[in-house]
Amino acid sequence: MLWNAPRAATAILAILIAAPAQVSPERTSLTQAKINSLPFNVGETLTYDVSFSKLIFSGTIGELKLSVSNPSEPMKTPMLELKAEAVSKGFFPALFGIKVRDRYITLVDANDFGVHSSTKLLEEGKVRREQKSIIDREAGRVTFTDRDLATEKSEPRTKEKPSPSWIQDVLSAIYYVRTQPVKEGAVIPIPVSDGGEIYNIEVVAGKREELKVGSAKIMAIQVNAKVFDGRYLKRSGEMLVWITDDDRRVPVRARVKTSGYTINVELRR
């Protein structure tokens, strides 16, 4: 129960069961021409502390690491490999015997940042699953496969559905927002594929403000990820992310409030 909360923060970020907000399979209004240059380079690694608070209880519950690399195998089309790893740590996971190591791997086209494939490797207590989505951009289809790795004789579950030819997943959406000029009041629509379903979310830019990150003071822009209230997640809540107001647009802080608890994600290095 406790670790479902930091996973919600992970995903800009969140992989909780949600009611589909169906999106037309035609290409969205987002254009490939908007991806002129990337504010991050291969080799960038960002590490975050994830903490939980509810009433008088609070503490660190995990660590989140994001990284950008070249694909491990040669590809016909230039690709970038985005990775995220969320691991449990701290008092609360130890108290409840919750051991988590979730990994996310996304391949995106280096030219227009459209997703080619998404893989989740979930290890949560006794649960071990592999979930993979393949986007056929020419056909406008997504094929999702879910494998139970903890049960040897379990048959994989597969489904196929229409999909926009240009689409993101919950990990690539974090990086896609960084490619966009984020000005106060700007609305960034993002079609997202998750679990073989298609969702339509928006990220709304707020005001600039000064934040203290470690020993430094920086200017950041607050963005509101509209993922609750049935847009992506069924429950009500709020997800705010602060990104640096510079050319790199680094996410330095995130805060998720839902169901009486708060999750904070803070950049450590």
Residue 46 structure tokens:
């960002």
pLDDT at residue number 95: 58
pLDDT digits (tens, 9 = 90+) for 40-56: 999 999 999 998 888 77
Q: What is the CA radius of gyration of the chain?
A: 18
Question: What is the pLDDT confidence band of residue 8, given thresholds at 50, 70 and 90?
Answer: very low
Q: How confident is the prediction for the chain on average, in pLDDT?
A: 83
Please check the confidence at residue 9 and state whether its pLDDT lies above 70: no
pLDDT at residue number 12: 34
Q: What are phi and psi of 161, to 5 degrees?
A: -145, 160
pLDDT at residue number 36: 56
pLDDT digits (tens, 9 = 90+) for 145-157: 999 998 888 899 9
Would you list the domain boundaries of the chain? 4-267
pLDDT digits (tens, 9 = 90+) for 65-90: 999 999 988 888 899 999 999 988 87
